[in-house]
Chain A
Amino acid sequence: MNLSRTLTAALLAMAIVMPAWAGPTLDKVKKDGVVTCGVTTGLAGFSMADRQGKYTGIDVDTCRAIAAAVLGSADKVRFVPATAQQRFTLLQSGEIDVLTRNTTWTLTREGDLGFLFAPPNYFDGQGFMVAKKAGVKSAKELDGATVCVQPGTTTELNLADYFRTNKMTFKPLVIEKLDEVENAFFAGRCDAYSTDRSGLASSRAGKAPNPDDYVILPEVISKEPLAPAVRQGDDEWFDIVKWTIFAMIDAEEKGVTSKNLDDMKKSDDPEIQRMLGVVPGMGKSLHIGEDWGYNIVKQVGNYGEVFDRNVGPASPLKLDRGINALWNKGGLMYAMPIR
């Protein structure tokens, strides 16, 4: 009786003393003067160190945008390269403030691991690449095709499911190593190559004898919404990360770019005025400076600029916007109103 009560008390005490790091992240970030982000150990277009050791990529720019919003400088960031295994622990233990590491938003990662995902900064998904000379315009025309694929838990399954649902047949050519599967496809051993669309683009950019000879088909057969994650229990910080992404998307929608930003400050559009801090109030609501939106667009750019620079036409990956286009252009990028 007595023992069980003591035990219960001890357990309760532990629960109070050891919550999953629930401190105010914003205070810590302001005190340290740096936002610490978990990124990949090297994935072109998302986060990768260049020859000078500088990180670039869409995830890197998301992190820099958060720093610009909170600290007023996109350079006040620290990147912690995280492997797939340790990324969640890094976030849980408070070693990083936000995980911007092409991580798919799933239910269990929120429910079981105790994270919250901000809006996706990139909607990835499995797709197909074919040689342009084959004249294929849609994956629906791939009946009977030989498809190069890497063995993996979901890639192969998605492929089989897709062909079965569309009542088509295919011959899989399963090759374990990335290098070899790419060689096989570009040597013409299969009609199509299937993996995540960002992966297809990076194969095309890096390995194709002539990248223009290959097209990535429009169909996306799996959902991989890649989103930044934060710890549960710090809603203030979650809001900041969330609205940083919204601000980038909203800026693109309103035509605000890093180039025309200062002209746009004179705009009559109340949404732009609120976002850029001409009409104050938004920063106060987020507990950060009123120039947060201005700093994001000025130093990092709007979503479209970030996309183009890292994975779009201006990058070696040359991905088209696809489902990452704005909502009013047929994509999924939709920002909640800033007001």
Chain B
Amino acid sequence: MRAIVWARANLFNGIWNSILTLVVVVLIARGLWEVVQWGVIDAVWSAPDGRACRALSNDAGACWAFIGQWNRFILFGRYPYDAQWRPLLVVILFMVLVLASCDRRMWRAGLLAGMWIFGLAACFILMGGGVFGLAKVPTDLWNGLPLTLFLAVIGLAGAFPLAILLALGRRSQLPTIRALCVGYIELIRGVPLITVLFMASVMLPLFLPAGVTINNLVRAQAGLILFYAAYLAEVVRGGLQAIPTGQYEAADALGLGYWRKTSLIVLPQALAISIPPLVNTFIAAFKDTTLVTIVGLFDLLATAGNAITDPEWRGFYVEAYVFVAAIYFVFCFFMSRYSRNLERRLAR
């Protein structure tokens, strides 16, 4: 009943608005219908190879049989086929870790730190093996979704503390520290992520002494941490600047030193204010990890890229990208919903 009233007041309050509403409804319905027809009705769910799949769908529908054949490669890449329960477990463990850290009851520094150190150690052991009878798997076989999660989660978790220090440093009274922080932030923000990755992965090895090599994954991860830190620092600084001077003065009046003032009074408020831009940066950073493809790391998008070059399943670009996009969407949508939820609760 209320819906009808609302619709009459907002969508059909005049001849032109009514016409526009109808036109838009028809367009949306047609668009949706096309998608449903392509993705569900005309879609082919199983076929022996790409040509058969095209023939079955008359080129009109999606060929999900391709995903059926290649999904394990897209998700886990070249990780040994029989041991792919390990990266699967790692993905689940990652999600449990993240979900658990989202619960405010878990928000105690010791508990969180312990959980993450223990959880990440478990992830590394599961992925890399070499102990507890697990076969050793070198990092160049850590591909697909686990790699994307590693890069994004460790990248952000590593960058966040660094970012807070940089933000505090940029507002410091000590000229040297301030200059260093400003210099770092401006330098990193002044170059594209691709450049940072190239420096880490292409230039750096040329400067290392002969025979010394640093793992490609470690280099890319370090590059991501340094890059994210500069961006997050500016977000945190925005939060810091929004804290009224009265808060600082009150803390001083209570006789709190710099670190206690910062950790008890300033940062909790500043971080709460910064949640929307922080999550914005998190989401952007998560998606930016796809750039590691150019330094030869097989992330989720790169494994999909390998899959679509299979001569037996050639040219199923749309299916592959829809599959990958759906995975990205789930993670990014979760982040944005959680941040809204968090904002509402912190505002109370």
Contacts and interface: CB of A to CB of B under 8 A. Distances in A.
Interface in B122-160: 138, 140-141, 143
Interface string A157-200: 00000000000000000000001001000000000000000000
Contacts of B296: 41, 80-83, 86, 90
B176 interface: no
A136 interface: no
Q: How large is the interface on A (under 10, 10 to 19, 20 to 34, 35 or more residues)?
A: 35 or more
Contact of A316 (B79, B210, B311): B311
A99 B70 CA distance: 27
Most buried by B among A28, A81, A92, A205: A81
Interface string A303-323: 000000000000111000000
B202 A89 contact: yes
Interface string B182-224: 0000000000000000100111011011110100100000000
Nearest to A315: B311
18 contacts: A21-B211, A28-B211, A41-B306, A42-B306, A48-B306, A50-B73, A51-B69, A51-B72, A53-B141, A80-B140, A85-B198, A89-B201, A92-B205, A93-B213, A94-B213, A95-B213, A182-B315, A207-B315
Contacts of A179: 315, 317
B169 interface: no
Given A51-B70, A51-B72, A81-B298, A23 B315 contact: no
A52 B143 CA distance: 13
Interface of A: 17-19, 21-23, 28, 41-45, 48-55, 78-83, 85-86, 89-90, 92-95, 179, 182, 202-203, 205-207, 209, 315-317
B305 interface: yes
Given A89-B206, A207-B315, A317-B311, A53 B79 contact: yes
Interface centre among B50, B294, B305, B311 (most CB of A within 10 A): B311
B306 A49 contact: yes
Contact of B309 (A19, A23, A48, A209): A48
A200 B77 CA distance: 27
B81 interface: yes
B314 A205 contact: yes
A207 B314 contact: yes
B293 interface: yes
Given A42-B305, A51-B69, A86 B201 contact: yes
A30 to B, nearest CB: 15
Tell which of A18, A43, A45, A317 has the most Cβ of chain B within 10 Å.
Answer: A18
A315 B296 CA distance: 26
A18 B209 contact: yes
B340 interface: no
Contacts of A49: 73, 77-78, 306
